[in-house]
Structure 1
Amino acid sequence: MLTDLFTPSLLHTLDIAGVFVFAISGALLAVRKNFDVFGIVVLAEATATGGGLVRDVIIGAVPPAAFTDLAYLITPLTAAVLVFFLHPEVERINRAVGVFDAAGLGLFCVVGTTKAYDHGLALPFAALLGVVTAAGGGVLRDVLANEVPSLLRWDREIYAVPAIVGAGMCALLIQFGALNPVTSALSAATAFVLRLCAMRFGWRAPRAWNRSSTRAERE
């Protein structure tokens, strides 16, 4: 099904583009945390490929593409080198990087869902793996940097919700036999726009109902 929607070369190009922007975000966090060059590379690689690795291992697509295609190694390394030498300039375009990150989120939630379904998973679990593909790298990045993952923090704009919506749309389209290049692009675009709106308007997920704790938020 996946190859019916996208040519292999186009799919690979889009995947590598997403890997690059996710690697940039990981490398930038490493610089902010004052990591050395090795730490910058590790965070770049983990952010770029973490979600896809988890997905491929779960669905049995082994060895994962990250270990069979040099592009998945070289692309994050390139991003890490750029950030290492040019991080002040990269920081200045951080908002643009956020836009590309949102685009990667939309793309990966659809590609991840479809690939998982192609490997025999039921649609709810395929959609779940679509979310893992899109957000898993960011979670791994934050854990390695000794931070609470962004998608679990109430004071950060929603991140997983757009991926859930995009992956859910993709799963429903598969269920009703309506997935095609146009509708798959619509699913990815929906996740992308939701993430951009969250960034623009500061949308956050609700906390516990009737929460009355007076503790400091950092606790």
Structure 2
Amino acid sequence: QGYHPSQPTGVTVKCDDGSWSLQGTPTTTEELCLPTCRDPCRNGGTCTKPGICTCTRSYYGSLCEKKKCLKSIPVMQHGDTGMNATYSGWLQCSKGYRVEGTEGSTASITCVAGEWLLAETRSRAVSGSCAPHCSVACKNGGRCVGPDRCECPTAFFGVVCENDACMEDPPAVAHGAFNGSDFYTPRTLQCHSGYHPASAASVACVDAAWRMQYTKLVLITTTQ
């Protein structure tokens, strides 16, 4: 039971000069009965015992129907990984990071068709699978680039890109200038040699316009 003849038409033996000899092929008795696997082994697998397939290196499963993940789970840039069993593992993202596409910091990883996939999203497990998390969403097209850190478009600034940036330099000041080069950081007044501020003064960008922090200094639009 569990074996079948190696030849569809059967095998015969013949008594010749007082000894039995096999007719045709196979030529040895070890090849007469072969193990039977009810379902054929796949992907180059071989039926080596009744109902048991021996698979090639790249496949596994009762019928060799599953492709192995021959490479290790990728090393994560902002997280740790480990194995639960031969073809499953886990991902733990670092503090301030979440599994990409989810709100959680942990995920199961499984081998599917030769690739490591995140079980929850069925997306590939890659080195960047742990994405930075901003507890308050970045606004105005801003992008979360680190834990609670937004990268803002040119026209906006602020912790979550909530403020409109000033797109031009502050008005000119007679005998001085406001130091700075960007359009959102407050700028302080620097007087020319021989002059001093009438009062401590700086300007800050508020609602896309430069506004005086102190009102004693008068801004004019021409220099002398």
Structure whose alpha-carbon radius of gyration is higher:
2
Q: TM-score range by the shorter chain?
A: under 0.3
Higher strand share: 2
With normalisation by structure 2, the TM-score equals: 0.20
With normalisation by structure 1, the TM-score equals: 0.20
